[in-house]
C-alpha cells in the first residue's frame, strides 16, 4: 500500500480516553474491506489518531464518512494522507483546513 491515511481528533473532546479511540478503531476495522489495513492508533499530546494504510485514501475516507457521522464524529474529524516516502500531508477534511500534523 502506498499511502497512510490519518484520522485525527482533539482530546479530550470528542475522544475522551484510550478506550474511546480503541472502540472507534474497531468499528473502522469492521467497516473497511481488505484493500486497506488499520495500522493502529496513538493517543496523547492533545490528539488521538488512527492510521490506515491504503492505495486510495480519498475513497477510503469517503467510505468512512457515514460511519463517522453516525458516531457524531465527522464534524470533529481531521483527515489527511501522505505517501509513505514523504512527510507532506494532503488534507481531506475538513474543507478549508490549512495545516495538518502528527504531534
What the block records as the C-alpha cell of 34 is: 481488505
pLDDT at 12: 85
pLDDT at 52: 97
Partners of 7 in the β-ladder: 50, 79
69 alpha-carbon distance from chain centroid: 13
Domains delineated in the chain: 3-93 (3.30.70)
User: How far apart are alpha carbons 67 and 60 in whole angstroms?
Assistant: 11
Q: What is the pLDDT of residues 9-52, one digit of tens each?
A: 998 888 888 899 999 999 999 988 778 999 999 988 889 999 99
Cross-sheet strand order for the sheet of 3-10: 36-44, 47-54, 3-10, 78-83, 90-93
User: How far apart are alpha carbons 89 and 17 in whole angstroms?
Assistant: 26
Q: Which residue has the cell 495538518?
A: 100
pLDDT at 45: 83
Amino acid at each position: 500500500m502506498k499511502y497512510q491515511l490519518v484520522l485525527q481528533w482533539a482530546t479530550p473532546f470528542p475522544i475522551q480516553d484510550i478506550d474511546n479511540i480503541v472502540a472507534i478503531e474497531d468499528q473502522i476495522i469492521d467497516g473497511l474491506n481488505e484493500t486497506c489495513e488499520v495500522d493502529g492508533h496513538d493517543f496523547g499530546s492533545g490528539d488521538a489518531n488512527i492510521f490506515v494504510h491504503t492505495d486510495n485514501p480519498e475513497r477510503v475516507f469517503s467510505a468512512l464518512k457515514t460511519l463517522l457521522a453516525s458516531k457524531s464524529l465527522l464534524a470533529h474529524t481531521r483527515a489527511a494522507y501522505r505517501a509513505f516516502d514523504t512527510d507532506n500531508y494532503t488534507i481531506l477534511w475538513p474543507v478549508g483546513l490549512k495545516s495538518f500534523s502528527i504531534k
